[in-house]
Structure 1
Amino acid sequence: MGADDNFFALGGDSILSMQVVSRLRRTGLHLATKDLFTHQTVAELATVVTTGPDRADDGPVTGDLPLTPIQHWFLTTPRANHHHFNQSALLELDGEPDPTALEAALTALLTHHDALRLRFTEQEGRWHQHNPPPPATPDRLLTRHDLTGLTPDQTDTALRTTADTLHTGLDIGRGPLLRAALFTGGRDHPGYLLLVAHHLVIDAVSWRILLDDLDTAYHQAAQGHPVTLGARTTSFRDWARGLAAHVAAGALDHELPYWEEALNSAPLPVDHTPEPATTAETRTLTRTLDESDTTALLRAAPTAYRTRINDVLLAALALALARWTDRDRVSVDLEGHGREDVLDGVDLSRTVGWFTTVHPVGLHIPDRADLGPTRDWRALVKSVRRQLRTVPGNGLGFGALRTYGSPDIRRRLERTGHGRLVFNYLGQWDARRTGTDTGGGLIRAEHGSFGQDHDPRDPGSHLLEAVGAVQNGRLTFTWHYRPDTHEETTVRAVAEDFTEALHQIARHARNSL
């Protein structure tokens, strides 16, 4: 990469921008995440970057804090088991691990990242969260499992049995809400590390922070050094308190007309009348683009259309939905990382917690019949880009107003509720560096979630979910659906239209350069 290469033209996105800011901080260089959007090359960033020590670290935070909008949504939604709603990562290790150093590293994560110590209790029908101090006697976070002599089938069974035990063993009232299992002695690999955390305390961005810090902490502990992870950024507690006060003061009230209009879009069709969201079965359907199309979408399309990857993906999705519904206007709920620059003096680049936002957006898509190479794909992407730029605050205000707004505002936004499809692009997992600056990394490869993350009796918040990420150089989208509501043939047709639109955009972008 050269000094004048554009960050977004190289495949950058909002999540990667936070990784850049986070890693620069550890070298003594300071940027705001928004700087990468206004200064998109290294040469331009050099004019705004600052140097110097981190601000003073006040140490672990404690005390009560308000539920964030996404936490409030989760805890006030009827569920089979609030304790079983997790995220996980199965990590293939790059060498024979030192279990003592690994336990020390995990304990350091729990001390450094305050959200991992959160506790949740229900009193008289209301949920509360509290940040206790690090325990005087550290919790044992790591269990060890010897796979020596097991066949591949036995190894897989042992991994899955342990994973499901971890997933079902979390208690949001007692904690800890991060657990780990180390597997060694297996054939053809030095070991696996499985991490399981309750979703109330972590999100996709947090995992990237956590895995970087795990790598650093492990190497420090293995070399006999004290574990130091640098100064803390703004705590999850202070962010939650600040956001609640910001909304209560009326700072986001002006967004209300936009959100009321966004909620007026017609819902997506269903094949069968949905059953009550209690025990409905869910299934998945996956579509993957090849490396050539993935590279074109990440690098050629942002350059050709002067836009970002999310705009490209949503243009293709909106077209597929318009073809399905036979309407020019479609509605979709978007998931975002939620770490928006709305409060002064806040730095969330290395803060762990559940910040996710979900907000509705209505998109107008004319000429929905054309899915071929003769379509003006540039015009489609630019039209969607313009419409997405009208969303206030990248969607943060919708959930914030529904949680912290006045009773009248909450009533007006609860009136319609969420849509039926939610879209979530998780970014490029390939971009996470696993090695340290001083040698090989702890982690050789990341294999994503593992085991039963959620209680199978909970069907999810939406009738359809489209979740995508880039891993191993290929863009994959997984569609989650309920067969009691949508036939597989329906979901497959929409997914294939979406995939074909992405293929056509990739082809057009390559030819436009």
Structure 2
Amino acid sequence: EAPQGEVETAIASIWAEVLQLDRVGRHDNFFELGGHSLLAVTVIDRMRAAGLESDVRRIFATPTVAGLSVSLGRDEATVVVPPNLIPAGCQQITPAMLPMVSLTQEQIARIVAAVPGGHVNVQDIYPLAPLQEGILFHHRMAAANDPYLQHAIFTFDTEARLHGFVAALQAVVRRHDILRTSVAWEGLPEPVQVVWRDAPIAIEQTAIDPAAGDAVHQLRDRFHAGQHRLDLQQAPLLRGIVTEDTGDGRWALLILFHHMVLDHTTLEIVQQEVQMQLLGRGEELARPKAFREFVGQARLGMSRQSHEAFFRRMLGTVEEPTAPYGLMDVQGDGSAIAQAQRA
């Protein structure tokens, strides 16, 4: 059914643009159309720019165009995320500068001690988003393989183009606070993320054996995400490994990155921005939204009890674990499987 009225039409237009759809009906569900929490933040920004004041929790509570339109007329308090109070060049971060987290001066000192450059290199400190808390839990539970460590591989025909790509990627890292973020948890009342002002990407060069076959395959096999871990307490949560294929003159770059800061959607955004930087059009990119805004909306917009109640309603009929083909007795994590067949 087509949207009705100016407000529904405006909301549907924004959803269609953000979700890259031709059209959106008034009863279509935002999340069933492919939306997720990060895109919800983008939708809220576009709505506010169009004069439609709302917040992320309303999209979760009323995820249809019609429902969201009705909710805009309700007298509900808008979530106000407190501003970052750490000034540039700050020599001493105090608890009063951290409105989103409760830390003592001693705890702040512990966090800052792990950041190169100390206080002046700390831009912000705030808690994890709920999803990040789950990712950190599994990272710490995994004794060896980190289930949230991923990789991407890029190839270049010249060393100059490789260096240009790395420089462009570093420029993108400087733009986005989430890409300059580390995580701290030891000795703290709750895990926090620490935004660094300067976080250079670590690039390691390694040699491969020309007689052993394709350089990309060797690089992937040697630095497979299932065989390595990233130190979440050091930003950025991505690392580059470079090798030269002396056989055909190509260069290959493998980027290890953590799902704590990058997923499939944001990786596409990073690649698009890298391309803009390489074309000399970096100044055309819109000013990025601070990740603290998303965290604030997620944590302040709805209580933890409300989140738990929502998932209890959603999963209330699930009484036992589910697994593919009902196979529960599985040994290992699957990383050693080269090929699997079902008879």
Q: TM-score range by the shorter chain?
A: 0.5 to 0.7
Question: How far apart are the structure 1 equivalents of 2:170 and 2:189?
Answer: 31
What residue is the counterpart of 2:204 in the other structure?
143
- Please state if 1:72 is matched with 2:142: no
The Cα RMSD (Å) is 4.9
SS across alignment from 1:14? coil
The partner residue of 2:297 within 225, 231, 242 is 242
Change (3 A) 1:273 1:140: closer
Distance 1:270-1:186 versus aligned 2 partners, 3 A rule: same
Shift of 1:105: 1.3
1:55-110: CA deviation from partner (whole Å, max 9, x where unpaired): xxx99993222222222123234221486741111123476643443332122122
May I ask how many residue pairs the two structures share in their alignment?
Answer: 246
Which of 320, 324, 332 in structure 2 is aligned with 1:281? 332
Q: 1:160 to 1:232 in 2, by over 3 A?
A: same
Aligned to 2:79: none
- What's the counterpart of residue 212 of structure 1? 272
**Match in the other structure for 1:159:** 219
Question: Which one of 52, 62, 79 corresponds to residue 123 of structure 2?
Answer: 62
Which 10-residue stretch deviates more, 171-180 or 89-98?
A: 89-98
Task: State the one-letter code of the partner of 1:281.
Answer: G
Whether 1:14 and 2:37 are equivalent positions in the alignment is no
Letter in structure 2 aligned against 1:192 = A
Distance 1:140 1:251, change over 3 A: closer
Say which SS state the counterpart of residue 263 (structure 1) adopts: coil
Letter matched to residue 168 of structure 2:
A
Query: Does the 8 Å CA contact 1:118/1:131 hold for their aligned counterparts?
Result: yes
Contact 1:84 1:170 in 2 (8 A): no
Match in the other structure for 1:181? 241
Matches within 5 A, 1:123-134: 123-124=186-187, 128-134=191-197
Identical-residue share of aligned pairs (%): 18
Q: Secondary structure at the match of 1:201?
A: coil
- Structure scoring higher RCO (CA < 8 A, sep ≥ 6) equals 1
Q: Deviation of residue 172 (structure 1)?
A: 0.7
Per-residue deviation, residues 413-441 of structure 1 (Å, max 9, x unmatched): xxxxxxxxxxxxxxxxxxxxxxxxxxxxx
TM-score (norm 2): 0.54
Corresponding residue SS for 2:268: helix
**Aligned counterpart for 2:261 among listed residues 192, 195, 201:** 201
Task: List gaps (5 residues or longer) in structure 2.
Answer: 1-20, 25-32, 53-58, 66-83, 89-121
1:103 aligned counterpart, secondary structure: helix
Distance 1:31 1:82 in 2: 47
In structure 1, runs of 5+ residues without a counterpart are 1-5, 39-57, 284-455, 458-479, 481-487, 494-513
Please state which structure has a larger fraction of its residues in strand.
1
How many Å apart are 1:213 and its aligned residue? 1.2
Is the 2:144–2:227 Cα contact (8 Å) retained in structure 1?
A: no
The match for 1:115 among 164, 178, 201 is 178
Contact kept, 8 Å, 2:128 with 2:193, in 1: the verdict is: no
Q: TM-score, normalised by structure 1?
A: 0.38
1:180 Cα deviation after fit: 1.8
